[in-house]
Structure 1
């Protein structure tokens, strides 16, 4: 392990073993050589493949076969499956079949673990129907293959599923580069593509390497030679590989053996876990504690659990937030695989971890239910602890599950201790506790951190908002009057439009008179809320809407009639020719609410019908129009909200968030987090708009929980009130997107800008401008019943009120609002939220 560099996912490069096999005397050390056979699928000729494999076996040349269990279209007992399985069973030291997952090198750690788990299970089903000999399965299942990539993710999620070796297959010849990673995984990148030739002398192109030689053969090339000459060609190739004309002598090996050679320092983890009967006496419990303390004194860690039922004897919850105390048992899971529920916050946070299962089956790794299945050996005889481990698991990671019944005497305890010491000193193994075992192997990248936090806080944040009492209603109505004062003061009486922002300081007063369609949509929502709250009369509401609608009739450009990117508030129908797909989503949502409101039913139908909205939806993706060109909005957090808004008007649109279908809950949620990580930091808006306007989709509901849990955890751990969203500021760059960064570890509150300028992404800028969003505080109160929401709302209510509406935000450091500065969206969303709370 000392030769490896510690590497996090997405971090620096691993230790490159450029001279692994060439170090020292090259006349003595063997040259490790791998022969890899790929291209095996339903189009492969079984007879030709059998001829080549048999020729290799007679020559003593090991060959590793790559098979894509998803794309091969093979079935158990097919001709090619029988060719492979029969030879793997007859000559296990000369032939093995491993899974090939094409895109593995580009996957995040969680996805790596899941892909490896599913690929191994599928491969076993294709070849053996899950009846593979255990020894064959363990050897082959420690290796996986994928395609070579210019930039590859670190293989940090693979050991959780038992993978120790990765082959990165090149499309064309590429120099071999071995990498040793801190988690014990070796990755062999590159190799030489070779075709079988008629004679041994034709292989002069086989190149010497200072590291491993890796040769890739494609089964599809076997048809290039006449059937009668195929065996001779395969034999000639084998002889040339095994006995090269020059260079070091060759040690041809299977891919699964690569770590056992030279400088890779192969090591395995052996977890030790004791199971105590639920009816054990206090004396038996104390005896177990003493014995475990003796083991710990000699550097042999262990864990224990109490048996509660047959179903949960080998299913536990591993706490990843804190280490498990020596005298605290692991939590056994119930029959439904759930952690025992508790209303206490401290108990709930023990869920910050992962479910585990000790499995004697071959389907070890991270399952679709987010349970980590760990290979285990259930010890029944105290005299054969070491022998049982070696016979069952060979050199693979595993856990020894030892019932306390076999520790009844000091002699038996000594036997167990001696056996564990022998394992610890075998030069191969590290004896650790089950808790430590899980902590070392489970994927721990940024996305899984957000996933586990949300899972931990779920019972604590799941309450829906309650009906406000009389006092609360009165305070909310007062807040609504403050928010409505922005519109009363600044709405232009001729056009009916309200400026986007207002700086009403005495020294430098100014209005930003251009408004986007997002702003206009917010204004319409504000009017709907105001009339529902009886802040304005029905006639006032009708008059205001009748002034706004003609201003958004749109402008024709490139043959399309669309609402404009922006219009000014002091002129009639005056604005630019562009169109913004995201802003249109907000406008469409508002017009739908307007169209279905009892006081304005059908009023917006003709306006929306006049627009050529279908012309900006291509392949289901909503586009903006900039200088006449279509620009995709898909890589944006507004795309999901916009898609829903387009759909309610009968225009089908896609959302980047919709990745849950056909997946397990945890797989879907992790996929969603990864999508959002690629988009950018996520705040409350437009995420929570759905709750007020459409009802929450499963995607938005989960992401809201992720953001909410992170903000609550921030307050629990630091006392900081963090409430992020998008909004204007009273200085350059004038508008900021603030949110949680999903692809960053921990809780990173990031800032982005419209142009994505690097000068606004510095830590200093973020620290100076991180703010508590006033509108988001009301959105959260309308969506979640929680003490954090109550504290946040009270703070904003007391701090952010101005003579004309609420200040857009409150600086997180100074706790001061943007004084004499407010905006249309802040006050509109606050009105929307209050109307929702008071309905």
Structure 2
């Protein structure tokens, strides 16, 4: 077959890869744009703008002008200690990947998953390959199997992935892992997180681009984007309700992911529209002025910021936000002597999941349930957050965090969530997200942001 004929035959794959490359350039290019906006001290009022709103935005942005972004701590190599930590994290995925579907348990031995956690698995595979824990062929085999399953599995209303799936059967389930015929709806944030990891898959393994293209062709992503915002689908009395998703932090992370595939996310990426500032131990903390799940004041956790830095690389705005959020946690330790590395986390007892915040529910350091109840007794020093801040900033405090938590790693099971602040006992819940973040953090130390990393 001639070169011309081969070129024509491969044209759809070439177009897909070119589009992905353009999306990547767009996301990386945001840094210059945000830097100009963040450094701006004033905002010109137009005739159609609300003066009070404008002044609020100037005040919010100006709060970060004095935040000097901490330098990144990319070391360019993998130490023996890092490799040992990574091997422990990978053991979790060896134990929890279902061989028929390629899906991974959300928590150790619990056979349910979401699109967020499936994205975390993709990050874990790429990171393990970069670190030399698995070879390229195993990485591609694992990813290929999961992509095949995602392409074939039944969707909610034939539109988008359901909020939860059984990893053994790939069937739609509720949050108790019980089969449901129609499903629960879709989470735009979860799907966007997975979409961002699909960009990483095609960046590292171009041979899998046709499978990624087929998967995205199977999903109607346009249903979860409206007027530049993320839109989730939720069942209410049998009717589909479309709700805006994403608050400051998570919204911008998800927007970056969707922008990689050409979606216009101008409102989701614009953190300033709903930004308010809360001072926590001298640090300006970016808080969303909307309710979380329409129930409780929005919370600020480390999660979306460390994902942004480890996977995409910070832009100027997220770098400042992340610096302030990290420094508030370090300041709490300096002031109280209490180790602090907070984020959303699973628990090894009821209610099994909480948001440990820097600011949340109207107060600093609140720990909240899904329902907005305070549960500060379950604040956890989380292993994933410790490793992530250590990889990103490499300060003396982050080294102390990792050193303190290092004994928790179980070579037979992986890394647990961390230790409970109240009594120092182990929060033994062992999850996909924690072990994936640890792998991503260790890969970042050697190679930088995953989407740009080259072994």
- Fold match by TM threshold 0.5: yes
Q: Give the distance between the partners of 1:694 and 1:536, measured in 2 at CA.
A: 22
1:770 alignment partner, one of 361, 365, 379: 379
- For the Cα contact (< 8 Å) 1:681–1:751, is it kept in 2? no
- Which residue is 1:645 aligned to? 257
- Which residue is 2:195 aligned to? 588
CA 1:648–1:814 in structure 2 vs 1: closer, same or farther (change >3 Å)?
same
TM superposition shift of 1:468: 6.5
- Which residue is 2:370 aligned to? 754
- Which residue is 1:824 aligned to? 432
| 589-598 vs 672-681, greater mean Cα deviation | 672-681
Taking structure 2 as the reference length, what is the TM-score of the superposition?
Answer: 0.74
- For the Cα contact (< 8 Å) 2:185–2:234, is it kept in 1? yes
Unaligned ranges ≥5, structure 2: 1-43, 174-182, 276-282, 293-297, 448-455
CA 1:709–1:729 in structure 2 vs 1: closer, same or farther (change >3 Å)?
same
CA 1:793–1:729 in structure 2 vs 1: closer, same or farther (change >3 Å)?
same
Q: Secondary structure at the match of 1:687?
A: helix
Deviations, residues 6-62 of structure 1 (Å, cap 9, x unaligned): xxxxxxxxxxxxxxxxxxxxxxxxxxxxxxxxxxxxxxxxxxxxxxxxxxxxxxxxx
- For the Cα contact (< 8 Å) 1:657–1:675, is it kept in 2? no
- Which residue is 1:485 aligned to? 91
Residues 34-45 of structure 1 aligned to structure 2 (within 5 Å) = none
TM superposition shift of 1:809: 2.1
1:546 alignment partner, one of 103, 128, 144: 144
- For the Cα contact (< 8 Å) 1:499–1:512, is it kept in 2? yes
Residues 163-202 of structure 1 aligned to structure 2 (within 5 Å) = none
TM superposition shift of 1:557: 4.4
- Which residue is 2:417 aligned to? 808
Q: Give the distance between the partners of 1:476 and 1:536, measured in 2 at CA.
A: 15
- Which residue is 1:675 aligned to? 288
CA 1:810–1:600 in structure 2 vs 1: closer, same or farther (change >3 Å)?
farther
Q: Give the distance between the partners of 1:587 and 1:771, measured in 2 at CA.
A: 26
1:626 alignment partner, one of 205, 213, 234: 234
Residues 773-812 of structure 1 aligned to structure 2 (within 5 Å) = 773-801=382-410, 803-812=412-421
- Which residue is 1:445 aligned to? none
- Which residue is 1:136 aligned to? none
- For the Cα contact (< 8 Å) 2:189–2:246, is it kept in 1? no
- Which residue is 1:517 aligned to? 115
2:154 alignment partner, one of 555, 559, 573: 555
Q: Give the distance between the partners of 1:657 and 1:722, measured in 2 at CA.
A: 28
Q: Secondary structure at the match of 1:731?
A: coil
TM superposition shift of 1:466: 4.5
- Which residue is 1:722 aligned to? 340
User: Comparing both structures, which one devotes a greater share of its residues to strand?
Assistant: 1
TM superposition shift of 1:490: 2.0
- Which residue is 1:494 aligned to? 100
CA 1:103–1:752 in structure 2 vs 1: closer, same or farther (change >3 Å)?
farther
- For the Cα contact (< 8 Å) 2:140–2:205, is it kept in 1? no
Deviations, residues 502-556 of structure 1 (Å, cap 9, x unaligned): 2xxxxxxxx3211000011111111111112121222222221122112222534
Deviations, residues 316-348 of structure 1 (Å, cap 9, x unaligned): xxxxxxxxxxxxxxxxxxxxxxxxxxxxxxxxx
TM superposition shift of 1:649: 1.0
Unaligned ranges ≥5, structure 1: 1-68, 74-100, 116-367, 371-450, 503-510, 664-669
Q: Give the distance between the partners of 1:557 and 1:799, measured in 2 at CA.
A: 39
CA 1:713–1:790 in structure 2 vs 1: closer, same or farther (change >3 Å)?
same
- For the Cα contact (< 8 Å) 1:782–1:833, is it kept in 2? yes
- Which residue is 2:205 aligned to? 598
Taking structure 1 as the reference length, what is the TM-score of the superposition?
Answer: 0.42
- For the Cα contact (< 8 Å) 1:688–1:700, is it kept in 2? no
- For the Cα contact (< 8 Å) 1:490–1:498, is it kept in 2? yes
CA 1:750–1:677 in structure 2 vs 1: closer, same or farther (change >3 Å)?
farther
Q: Secondary structure at the match of 2:231?
A: strand
CA 1:646–1:656 in structure 2 vs 1: closer, same or farther (change >3 Å)?
closer
- Which residue is 2:450 aligned to? none
Deviations, residues 246-304 of structure 1 (Å, cap 9, x unaligned): xxxxxxxxxxxxxxxxxxxxxxxxxxxxxxxxxxxxxxxxxxxxxxxxxxxxxxxxxxx
Q: Give the distance between the partners of 2:290 and 2:242, measured in 1 at CA.
A: 25
Q: Give the distance between the partners of 2:217 and 2:305, measured in 1 at CA.
A: 27
Does residue 738 (structure 1) correspond to residue 351 (structure 2)? The answer is no
TM superposition shift of 1:599: 6.2
Count of residues in Structure 1 that have an aligned counterpart in Structure 2: 378
CA 1:635–1:721 in structure 2 vs 1: closer, same or farther (change >3 Å)?
same
C-alpha RMSD of matched pairs (Å) = 3.4
CA 1:463–1:626 in structure 2 vs 1: closer, same or farther (change >3 Å)?
same
- Which residue is 1:614 aligned to? 222
- Which residue is 2:313 aligned to? 695
TM superposition shift of 1:588: 0.5
- For the Cα contact (< 8 Å) 1:678–1:743, is it kept in 2? no
Q: Secondary structure at the match of 2:350?
A: coil
- Which residue is 2:331 aligned to? 713
- For the Cα contact (< 8 Å) 1:725–1:737, is it kept in 2? yes
Q: Secondary structure at the match of 1:604?
A: helix
- Which residue is 1:579 aligned to? 186
Q: Give the distance between the partners of 2:411 and 2:142, measured in 1 at CA.
A: 24
Q: Give the distance between the partners of 1:714 and 1:822, measured in 2 at CA.
A: 26
Does residue 526 (structure 1) correspond to residue 124 (structure 2)? The answer is yes
TM superposition shift of 1:582: 0.7
Residues 399-418 of structure 1 aligned to structure 2 (within 5 Å) = none
Q: Which has the larger radius of gyration?
A: 1
User: Comparing both structures, which one devotes a greater share of its residues to helix?
Assistant: 2
